[in-house]
Amino acid sequence: MLSALEQYDPQIFELLTQEKARQSGSIRMIASENYVSKAVMQATGSCLTNKYAEGYPGKRYYEGQQVTDLIETIAIDRAKKVFGADHANVQSYSGSVANVAAYSTLINPGDMIMGLSLVNGGHLTHGWKASFTSKVYNSVQYSVDPQTGLFDYGQIEEFAKKHRPKIIISGATAYPRQIDFEIFGEIAKRVGAYHVSDIAHISGLVVAGIHKSPVPYADIVSTTTHKTLRGPRGGMLLCKAEHAAAMDRAVFPGLQGGPHMHTVTAIAVALAEADTPEFVQYARQIVANAKRLGEKLMEHGFNLVSGGTDNHLLLIDLRNKGVAGKKFAKALDRARIVTNYNTVPGDTAPPFNPSGVRLGTPAVTTRGMKEPEMEMIAGFFKRVIEHIDDESVIEQVARESLLLCSRFPVPDHFIIPRDGSHGAGRD
């Protein structure tokens, strides 16, 4: 029987089928991507896509909220529980909007924000020059140490003392080590700044207790919900009680109209999944996989920023290889390994053709791959870099990648047990 989509729009159906095959037949190592569970996928594609719900539970501007109020309240309560936060807002459309909402909760246009620069691993919305955030706010940007690739907290404090920002942003999109949020919080206090922490990449690791949480040390914490947290594409904010009302106003009506209730619903589901021993085990394996991958890559002569990783991502600095990041990432893609090219600390190459590639283990770990598979993948990286202009080798690696993928089918039907009684967690 034809599905509704197949029947109504065969062209889009065919393209979705191709994308499903691509996700299934490639080793997906974009550090911000994952595979969601069947339950999250169902909630995302549910009837809540049909509902408008401006406002918050108990105070809406549209009627018909008998169900949405209950669902959003559950999502908020689950977020507060798993992150140990006083207050949560689950309506942000994305991490970018969540960050802007955090800033607008605390400061006014023209005030100064201080974030990690994009080329050092920060996000666009941390005040990068191309971002709206640097136009609305007066942005100053700190860096990592170009030699070690690490935060130099002493230098960050000096920088903060010099500029006296109103907000200091901690968190990154390409930093492979633990971040000391407590120190960021202390620096912010000492210069009279608010502390906003963006844990979009690591929120799943934070929930699992594997990465230190910024919640006790930050005024507001923002995150996406789809990376290591393995929920739908969306954003979320957590804050101390004193900022709760202002933060909710900043999201709605400050920045957004109607929340995407299908996404809020799926966030609720993902948070239930994250609150299980299985998820903690998953998060541990993400890090174990990243560490093993890093060790093997270094054995194969790759330089890693900071010499390894504490989290889910790795940054390969290709400057010793004489191969640009884009060329390597494109060759890897032909070999069925999907990464993104990325700047590395001290990079003089532009962000669109930088000197590194970023890779992460959340998606391959969801597929069930473990350390032996990481060793195989590191071997694929070696062969691709050594034969970057030899398509026959790249094609051979692509065949082996596909074989590896076939041993670890895409778990688009996996289920996280809520009571630990359903065995391996897949149906």
List active site positions.
52, 54, 198, 224, 227, 233
CA-to-CA separations, 44 to 14, 223, 262, in angstroms, rounded: 21, 18, 5
Total interface residues for ligand DSN by CB under 6 A:
4
Q: Which of residues 161-200 bind ligand DSN (CB under 6 A)?
A: 173
Residues contacting residue 50 through CB under 8 Å, at least 6 positions apart: none
Q: Kindly provide the b/e burial profile for residues 24-51, where b requires at least 16 CB atoms within 10 angstroms of the residue's own CB.
A: bebbbbbbbbbbbbbbbbebbebebeeb
- Residue 133 binding ligand DSN, by CB under 6 A: no
Minimum Å gap between C-beta 7 and ligand DSN is 35
**Closest CB to ligand DSN among 200 and 304?**
200
Minimum Å gap between C-beta 238 and ligand DSN is 18
- Residue 95 binding ligand DSN, by CB under 6 A: yes
Q: Kindly provide the b/e burial profile for residues 373-383, where b requires at least 16 CB atoms within 10 angstroms of the residue's own CB.
A: bbeebbbbbbb
- Residue 361 binding ligand DSN, by CB under 6 A: no
Minimum Å gap between C-beta 92 and ligand DSN is 13
Distance CA 103, CA 112 (A): 10
CA-to-CA separations, 58 to 261, 266, 406, in angstroms, rounded: 15, 20, 48
**Closest CB to ligand DSN among 33 and 186?**
33
One residue of 28, 78, 123, 367 binding ligand DSN per CB under 6 A: 123
Strand residue runs (E) in 45-166: 55-56, 59-60, 87-89, 112-116, 138-142
Look up residue 198 and give its two tokens: 């963006």
**Closest CB to ligand DSN among 29 and 388?**
29
Residues contacting residue 167 through CB under 8 Å, at least 6 positions apart: 103, 106, 107, 111, 112, 113, 114, 193, 194, 195, 196
Q: Which of residues 293-352 bind ligand DSN (CB under 6 A)?
A: none
- Residue 235 binding ligand DSN, by CB under 6 A: no
Contact 102, 247 (CB under 8 A): yes
Minimum Å gap between C-beta 124 and ligand DSN is 7
Q: Which residues on neighbouring strands pair with residue 359, listed in sequence order? A: 314
One residue of 26, 27, 29, 32 binding ligand DSN per CB under 6 A: 32
Minimum Å gap between C-beta 282 and ligand DSN is 20
Kindly report the backbone phi and psi dihedral angles of residue 115, in degrees, each rounded to the nearest multiple of 5, phi listed first: -130, 170
**Closest CB to ligand DSN among 32 and 133?**
32
Coil, strand or helix at 200: coil
**Closest CB to ligand DSN among 37 and 96?**
96
Minimum Å gap between C-beta 128 and ligand DSN is 12
**Closest CB to ligand DSN among 87 and 227?**
227
- Residue 65 binding ligand DSN, by CB under 6 A: no
Instruction: Name the site residues for ligand DSN (rule: CB under 6 A).
Output: 32, 95, 123, 173
